[in-house]
Copies of this chain bind each other. A is one copy, B any other.
């Protein structure tokens, strides 16, 4: 398949073309360049990129599935990128990640991609950004990036989203709740899932207080929603709020501002990704003893560039 065929496939909304194009990017295939350079910028501009994050056990996957179903009932074409904290050695994706979208597996208008973290030292942000662009170019008007809200790279990835929903649930335990700390400061939407469980009201009140405080600091339209994702409850209301935030942020220029920031992040991540092989070669050639201060060696390598 050459790049013209692939671009044609994207235009025709062929899910296999999407998968193939993303794989080319991930594998550093030379074809990737011409594909990425020929995507439909207007479709990319229009797409809504929704980040779904939160601690393990909050019900992100169930919620994502319900969101897909709702958007599909409105005839929308959906992209889903699941960031997968998988094995650094086997590179295998977690089984659950692969099967959880089975409900939509036969739907050609639900394009799912697991991005394995695969022990790469970087490039996840770059690759995810490229996947978003490819999906949007193939007509996905709504793209969901789902990631567990811990870890440095996962945080960076959330910055690729136009709007971010933090999913929480009552009774997750102290150290899990602590993980949400950073995300509370970047999320636009605070979703209290498992709203039928004990402690949900208290959690919602806490989240309301956070939202109020952030609104007072003019940090944006911060809203709290309650859902029972396993029963599909609250999904429609939540997505109305997402649509409202999207509209406000597009009018105020906030979406544009965020995209400019994420664009710079992606360029940086690509630059780093593309220079690493050169660095690795220089490290291998520079020294066989591997003794002494790593920082000094890095300084020497940069001097030789």
Seen from chain A, the residues whose Cβ lies within 8 Å of a Cβ on chain B are 25, 32-33, 36-37, 39, 41, 55-57, 61, 85-90, 92, 94-97, 117, 119-122, 124-126, 129-130, 133, 148, 150-156, 173-176, 178-179, 181-182, 185-186, 259-260, 263-276, 279-280, 283-284, 290-299, 301-302, 305
Contact = CB atoms under 8 A, between A and B. Distances in A.
24 contacts: A55-B56, A61-B175, A85-B179, A86-B182, A88-B155, A88-B186, A89-B185, A94-B178, A94-B181, A95-B178, A117-B155, A119-B155, A119-B156, A121-B156, A121-B268, A124-B152, A148-B179, A151-B151, A152-B154, A263-B291, A267-B283, A270-B297, A272-B275, A273-B298
Contacts of A36: 293, 295-296
Given A90-B185, A153-B151, A182-B86, A56 B267 contact: no
A223 to B, nearest CB: 19
A152 B182 contact: no
Given A56-B56, A86-B182, A274 B291 contact: no
A39 to B, nearest CB: 7
Nearest to A265: B121
Given A120-B152, A270-B298, 6 more contacts: A36-B296, A87-B185, A267-B301, A270-B297, A273-B298, A275-B302
Contacts of A125: 121
Majority SS at the chain A contact face: helix
Given A122-B122, A266-B294, A117 B275 contact: no
A44 to B, nearest CB: 9
Given A185-B90, A264-B283, A271-B279, A151 B85 contact: yes
Given A57-B176, A94-B181, A151-B154, A129 B272 contact: no
Contact of A290 (B86, B260, B268): B260
Best-surrounded residue of A96, A125, A280, A293 (most CB of chain B within 10 A): A293
Contacts of A294: 126, 129-130, 263, 266-267, 269-270
A154 B298 CA distance: 21
